[in-house]
Structure 1
Amino acid sequence: MAGKTSPDGLSQEERDAVKERAKELRAQAKAGKSREAGTKQVLEAIGKLEGTDKALAEGFYQVVSETAPDLVPKTFYGFPAFANNDGKVVMFLQPASKFKTRYATINFDEPSHLDDGDMWPIGFAVLAWTPAVQERVTDLVKKAVA
C-alpha cells in the first residue's frame, strides 16, 4: 500500500507519479505519435524495474507487441502502456513497486473491448509471469483490440 499521505491527500509515491505523468506528457507532445519514441520510453521504464516487476513488464511488452502490433507503446504515469491510433491508452502494467503493493496489475482502459454484459473485470493482479499468465494475457489483449 502507498505510504503516508500529505495535507493534499497524496502519498509521496502518488505525488511522484503525478510529476512523472507531467514529464511524460511533455515528452509525448514533442514526439507526437512516434512509435520509436514511445518504444524508447517504454523500454527505459522497463529497464528501471527490478525482479518480478521487470519480468512481468518484459512479458507484457512482448505479448502486446506481438499480439496487437497496431497499438503504440507509450508510458502512462511511468508504467509500460499501449495506446490506440487516437493516443488513448488501451492497456498498461502497473508494477507492484510503484506504489509498494503486493502484486502488479495489468489494466485495461475504456478503449479496450473487454465488455461482457453489464459488468466485467478491467484489472488483473499478477504475481509471476508464467506460461498460463502469458496465455491469459494474450487472450485478453486479442479481445481488447477486437
Structure 2
Amino acid sequence: MPTKNATSESVGFTAAERAAMKGRAAELRAEGKAGAKRADGLQAVLDSIAKMAPEDQVLAGRVHATVTATAPGLWPKTWYGMPAYADDDGKIVFCFKNAGKFNSRYSTLEFQDAAHLDDGEIWPVSYALEKWSPAVEKRVAELVTAAIS
C-alpha cells in the first residue's frame, strides 16, 4: 500500500514496495542477459518515477503497478526519460508523460504505433490523468489490455 499524507492521498511507494521491486530487479538480472536488460529497464523506470514531483509520483506509481499487474509481459524502460513499456520486439507501446516534466496542467498516458488501439479511421492515443481512482485504474487496465491484444 502506498504511503499516505495528512489528506490521505498516496505520495509514493512504501519502503516495502521499493524493496520488493528492487528484489524483482535482482531476480531478473539473475535470469541472464534478457533478464538483466529487463531489470535495468525496471530500475530506470523506478528512478524516473522517484525524480518526479509528489503528485506525478502517485500517478506514475499507480500506472506502473496497474501495468505490471495487467501486462506483465511488457518491458519497463525509459523513453526520453519517461516511464515507458515495450513489447517483446522492443517497440514502445505507451509511456507516462508526467506534468512536471513539461509544465503541463495534467499528466498523460500516451500510446504509440505498437499499441493496438486502432478503431476505424480516427481514435485517441493520449489520455489525460489528473487523479487516481478505482475508475481510472479500471480504464487504464482496459487500455493496456487493448493495446497489447
Bucket of the pairwise TM-score, normalised by the shorter protein: 0.7 to 0.9
Name the counterpart of 2:125. 122
Residues of 2 paired with 1:34 and 1:41: CA distance? 11
Pairing 1:42–2:45 present: yes
Residue 96 of structure 1 is matched in structure 2 by 99
Match of 2:111 in 1: 108
Distance in 1 of aligned mates of 2:80 and 2:132: 22
Residue 55 of structure 2: aligned partner: 52
Distance 2:89 2:147 in 1: 15
Alpha-carbon distance in 2 for matches of 1:34, 1:66 = 20
Provide the TM-score with structure 2 as the length reference: 0.75
Distance 1:124 1:46 in 2: 19
Amino acid in the other structure paired with 2:78: T
AA aligned opposite 2:123: W
CA distances 1:61-93 after superposition (whole Å, capped 9, x unpaired): 011111111110000111110001111110110
2:148 corresponding residue in structure 1: 145
Q: What is the rounded CA distance, in whole Å, between the counterparts of 1:129 and 1:83 in structure 2?
A: 23
In the alignment, does 2:73 pair up with 1:70? yes
Distance in 2 separating the partners of 1:98 and 1:129: 19
For 1:130 and 1:79, how far apart are their aligned partners in 2? 22
- What is the identity percentage for the equivalent residue pairs of Structure 1 and Structure 2? 43
Post-superposition, which runs of at least 4 consecutive aligned residues in structure 1 deviate over 2 A?
A: none
Q: Per-residue displacement from partner, 1:11-66 (whole Å, max 9, x unpaired)?
A: xxxxxxxxxxxxxxxxxxxx877110000000000111122200110011011111
Structure 1, unpaired ranges of 5+? 1-30
- Give the residue type in structure 2 aligned to 1:109: Q
* Higher RCO (C-alpha 8 Å, min separation 6): 1
Cα RMSD (Å) of the superposition?
Answer: 1.3
What is the distance in 1 between the residues matched to 2:37 and 2:132? 29
User: What is the aligned partner in structure 1 of residue 83 from structure 2?
Assistant: 80
